[in-house]
Amino acid sequence: MYYGGRTNYGQAMGILMLNTTFPRIPGDIGNATTFSFPVVYKIIENANAFTVVDQGGKDLLEPFIEGARELAKLGVRAITTSCGFLATLQKELAAAVNVPVFTSSLIQARLVYPMLAPGQKVGIITANAAALGERHFAGVGIADIPRAVIGVEKSHFAEMFFSGSNKLDEKKAETELVAAAEKLVADHGDIGAIVLECTNMPPYAAAIHEATGLPVFDIVTLTNYVYAALEPRRYSGYM
């Protein structure tokens, strides 16, 4: 027996999006083909790289809460966002709806760290290291996790969304992110795994892994993990 109440069904994952126009290639959270399951997007009108990263999203809490509630009414069973810097809103957004909310890939540092050998750190690659601080780490409960951070502020990749560019040289961006990962590992010999803060970085996770040999976690790995909990697999096989 099925009962209705909404217009649309089958979209378990909701994504709160910054209002942007740059290219979002497969692997980016803003490209729906990144996922093997349906997602639904909600754009937050005044949210962009400047208001979220540079200004810290200080005036965006209510619009994000409204967006999360709208997604929840559509029937999504979990909500994420398109910017890791929204870690500062984690507690408020999680409290605003009755479905799980994970605002930032950085949440994974709490999961990753116990997997590492004693003395190892979690490496974090971010779009802007100067803007990423303790309030972000505290927001997602990882302030006590040993970590090393590197940013890619002065890169073609970062220019794409910090300067309003609508162009992406995918190969150049990959080269820049691999170089950042290699520098992070070279500067900190105790890195045991890498977490990509930026939701535009997952397209380059495979190249980073190949260059460093380390596990790489990002917003896509986290979203897939949560979805697997929302839709547990029914197993079949033989004995």
Per-residue model confidence (pLDDT) at position 164: 77
Identity of residue 162: F
User: Of 120, 123, 173, which is closest to residue 150 (Cα–Cα)?
Assistant: 123
Q: CA 159, CA 167: separation in Å to the nearest integer?
A: 9
Tens digit of each residue's pLDDT, the chain (239 residues) = 988 888 888 899 999 999 999 999 999 999 999 999 999 999 999 998 888 988 877 789 999 999 999 999 999 999 999 999 999 999 999 999 999 999 999 999 999 999 999 999 999 999 999 999 999 999 999 999 999 999 999 999 999 888 878 889 999 999 999 999 999 999 999 999 999 999 999 999 999 999 999 999 999 999 999 999 999 999 999 99
Q: Which pLDDT score is estimated for 9?
A: 86
What is the 3-state composition of the chain as percent helix, strand, coil, each rounded to the nearest 5?
Answer: 40, 15, 40
Rg (CA), the chain: 18
Tell me whether residue 213 is exposed, middle or buried, using C-beta atoms within 10 angstroms of its C-beta: 0 to 12, 13 to 18, 19 or more. Answer: exposed
The number of residues making up the chain comes to: 239
What is the rounded distance in angstroms from the CA atom of residue 199 to the CA atom of residue 196? Answer: 8
Q: Where are the beta strands (DSSP E) in the chain?
A: 13-18, 39-44, 78-81, 101-102, 121-126, 147-151, 191-196, 216-217
The count of other CB atoms within 10 Å of the CB of residue 42 is 19
Per-residue DSSP letters for 121-167? EEEEEES-TTT--HHHHHHTT-TTS-EEEEE--SSHHHHHHHS----
CA 29 – CA 15 distance, rounded (Å): 8
